[in-house]
Structure 1
Amino acid sequence: MYPRILPAIMFAALSQPAIAQMQSAEVTLTRIDCGRASEPMPLAAFDDTGASDAMARALVVSCYLVRHGDDLLIWDTGIDPATSGDPDGGFTMTATLVDELAALGIAPADVDYVGISHYHYDHTGQARDFPQVTLLIGAQDWEVIENGAPFIDRSLFAPWLDGGGSVRKISGDLDLFGDGTVRLLAMPGHTNGHHALLVRLAGTGPVMLTGDLAHYTENYEKEGVPTFNDDRADTLASFDRFKRMAANYHATVVIQHEPADVGLLPAFPEAAR
């Protein structure tokens, strides 16, 4: 009884003007270069079955700008420019995220949200350059940051740890704008609070950004679990869910660290629509 009645009641509660407003927001997706591997990286640790022991790949670091009407979301923030070229980090960058956005006429103060797929350094390096935003992050990942794990650079999160910035700690999925066009998807395993992103575009169709569910094409196809993941079983369950969703939605899957997937979206500064 209730599963059928409740959706109807909820739908009826929305006025027609509200529905029209939800549907009228234009959504675009822009891929931004936020770093590249200085040289091919050994991939043995990215699959605990040994499938990648002999492999090396020059991975990329990607950030994304999502426009939803007048709202702006940055998805992942790349490496810290101060670490560019550091052999321990393994990535270099030629322009900061702030500079790349400036080329689009966007200042840090224009950004409303920064969404973080997970707390690793190559996804959070420039978050603090947007101190006024609402930070979107998995609740379990934020707990790790708050507790000050030794591998976390807490200075990257100073605007929110100091109490001045707003943090939205996400448990499960989040339909950010309430219209289904931008959804943070809980995909735990790489970290316990790890999320992927689904963006529905009017022309291109659904696009699913993996976060670090997978790091390169073979990793995605063979469902390789890195030795440094938080939970193996959760990773495999997330692979299953992600792939089923991608198939059901006929989505374009973009593996964020895969160089070949850069071409699945228009070249900067153009946006997918």
Structure 2
Amino acid sequence: MFGKALAGIAAIAIGSSFSVAQAQDTKLYAFSSGALTIGKGALVNGASDTPPIQVPVGFYVIRHPKGNVLFDTGNNDKIIKDPSYWGAAFNALKPVNTPDVAIDVQLQKIGLKPDDIKYVVPSHLHLDHGGNVGKFPNSTIVVQRDEILNAFWPKAGTGGPYMIGDVMPLRSPNTDYPNAQKMLQLEGDLDLFGDGALVIKRWVAHTPGSQMMTVRLKNTGLIILTGDNVYMRENVEKSIPPNIVLAYNPQGFLTAFEWIRMTMANEKADFFTAHDPDAFKAMKKAPEFYD
């Protein structure tokens, strides 16, 4: 009995050492895919919509010893030359669409090309998060099954922010296969490399297949990448969800906020959003990094 206990402790120690070793070589980079203009009341329920505010469209790269991971892909680069690709959404959201925000230009800041990305993990597939998902044909797309289904066949009232052109490259026509490239269609959480460094967490709130991801770093500690399950830090700090129009599952937001606060308290974690202008401004931007 005692021997088994020691063996268990040893196994835990070995696993912990492995995670620490991976964390030593893991780096987190923050990028911008431009910006959108929107009323704050949509993001923080009850806030004033006037004047509208400009919010960043952030995405992240994690360099891990076993491969590079992209969390979110920003706005589709097609709008840089063809604003009509977004239709009415372009005039409504007024995206920054200068050539410097193209995803390949952004990745070049740290010496990467799209083919250098092993996994693409979209928090969800709305136009400002999954826009460039089709630009990574040699990567594995890691998405909740409910999200990819909703992008192609949206449930009533949820279809507006999806662009079918964004996800069509994932569909393989005239074959027996459902997708044109490697894809992991999840129905729950996933420890991406099996070492605790990057853990994808299914959290249905903003969309039917929303997911967040935790990134464990040696010096910075645990970072939670929230996607649109958190728009601004005050959502979490004051337990204020977004407007109902952005909430597929309103209760999911509140439980996400609670879990983030608990993780911050227990593990001294922090969380990074995609659209908080003040928080994003204060962050290190690539080529600077968190480690």
The alpha-carbon deviation at position 53 of structure 1 amounts to 5.0
What is residue 31 of structure 1 aligned with on the other side?
30
Partner deviation per Cα, 1:152-198 (whole Å, 9 max, x = no partner): 32221233222221221222221111111111122211112111121
What is residue 101 of structure 1 aligned with on the other side?
107
Q: Secondary structure at the match of 2:170?
A: helix
What is residue 42 of structure 2 aligned with on the other side?
45
Larger helix percent: 2
Partner deviation per Cα, 1:105-131 (whole Å, 9 max, x = no partner): 211111101101012110011111111
Partner deviation per Cα, 1:251-270 (whole Å, 9 max, x = no partner): 12222211222245423211
What is residue 254 of structure 1 aligned with on the other side?
272
Q: Contact (CA 8 Å) 1:118, 1:193: kept in 2 or not? A: yes
Count of residue pairs the alignment pairs up: 263
**Greater Cα offset, 127-136 or 233-242:** 233-242
Matches within 5 A, 1:81-120: 81-84=77-80, 86-94=90-98, 95=100, 96-120=102-126
Aligned partner letter, 1:76: D
Question: What RMSD, in angstroms, separates the aligned Cα atoms of the two structures?
Answer: 2.7
Mapped pair 1:170 → 2:176: no
Aligned partner letter, 1:158: M
Of 220, 241, 250, the residue aligned with 1:224 is: 241
Mapped pair 1:244 → 2:262: yes
Where structure 2 has 5 or more consecutive residues not aligned to the other structure, the ranges are: 84-89, 173-178
Partner deviation per Cα, 1:11-56 (whole Å, 9 max, x = no partner): 85x996x88665433110000111113x5x21223345x3445574
TM-score w.r.t. the length of structure 2 is: 0.80
What is residue 130 of structure 1 aligned with on the other side?
136
The alpha-carbon deviation at position 242 of structure 1 amounts to 2.2
Where structure 1 has 5 or more consecutive residues not aligned to the other structure, the ranges are: none
TM-score w.r.t. the length of structure 1 is: 0.85
Q: Contact (CA 8 Å) 2:235, 2:257: kept in 1 or not? A: no
